[in-house]
Structure 1
Amino acid sequence: MTVGVVLVSHSAAVAEAVAQLAAGLAGGGDPAPVAAAGGTPDGGLGTDAGAIARAARTVDRGEGVAVLADLGSAVLTVKALLADEDELPPGTRLLDAPFVEGAVAAVVAASAGADLAAVAAAAEDAYSYRKA
């Protein structure tokens, strides 16, 4: 079984693109399940609690679900879902990580068979990636 990853963005296009990037960089084999939850139901910018919950259920394989969010209200929406124990699968965790680098690190770690704690640590460690 594998940890699933959900990417929550205010933009559906951003969430989908980061999901594709992370899955593509995870390498060959069987990548961890990744789902994008971005934008509002009418295609606008924002977050949709229902879409986040559906995405989490889609990637849940019984080993936990790692959720990364892009900006403030996306984080607040995930926190509200986590506060209601029936909304997200057991073992769902919001990660404090940069959105793109953290997503790639999380999916790579999950694809390698890491447990939820190791996936979270990999994503959160992405804050230390230096570019200069």
Structure 2
Amino acid sequence: MSAQVGIVLVSHSGPVAESVAELARGLAAGGATAPVAAAGGTGAGGLGTSTELIAEAVRAVEGGAGVAVLVDLGSAVLTVKAMLAEDELPPGTRLVDAPFVEGAVAAVVTASAGGDLDAVEAAASEAYDYRKA
């Protein structure tokens, strides 16, 4: 099997990031899922973001097909953008503009089905169009 796109979920809360990762893996079940890592909170377990946790998560899921990074709130966006600008993340790492929960599920399902980074990004971004009413 060829390399799958890795997914990193960055939240200001460790438990939120872990829970969304678990949900996405569960909904993509039916076989092996793409690699998913949560990078939530600070290194000390508080609320916030940690460049160290993000970099560690990206390294953990990077297998040669690229990494899609989804974030929850504004400062997480700024943190990942700064890391990308400073080349602190491997080539092929991409910040994806998508809703956090729905986008994570779409990204993991698409990556698990063998979609490339462009397909994973498109699927996650299209989650903005999911209507609930």
Partner of 1:46: 48
Partner of 2:81: 79
- Tell me the CA shift for residue 43 of structure 1: 1.0
Give the TM-score of the pair, scaled to structure 2: 0.97
TM-score w.r.t. structure 1 length? Answer: 0.98
1:117 counterpart residue number: 118
How many aligned positions are there? Answer: 131
Paired residue for 1:3, among 2, 5, 9?
A: 5
Structure 1 counterpart of 2:69, one-letter code: V
Q: CA deviation at 1:84?
A: 1.4
CA deviation profile, 1:20-53 (whole Å, cap 9, x unmatched)? 0001100221100000000011111000001000
Percent identity reads 73
Rounded Cα–Cα distance in structure 2 between residues aligned with 1:37 and 1:43: 11
Q: What letter matches 2:116 in structure 1?
A: D
Structure 1 residue 89, shift from structure 2 partner: 1.4
**Within the alignment, does 1:33 sit opposite 2:10 as a pair?**
no
RMSD: 0.5
Question: Shift in Å at residue 3 of structure 1?
Answer: 0.1
Distance 1:57 1:7 in 2: 13
Query: How many Å separate the matches in 2 of 1:10 and 1:82?
Result: 18
State the distance in 1 between where 2:82 and 2:122 align.
23
Residue type at the aligned position of 2:54? I
Q: In structure 2, list runs of 5 or more residues that go unmatched.
A: none
C-alpha separation in 2, matches of 1:27 and 1:100: 16
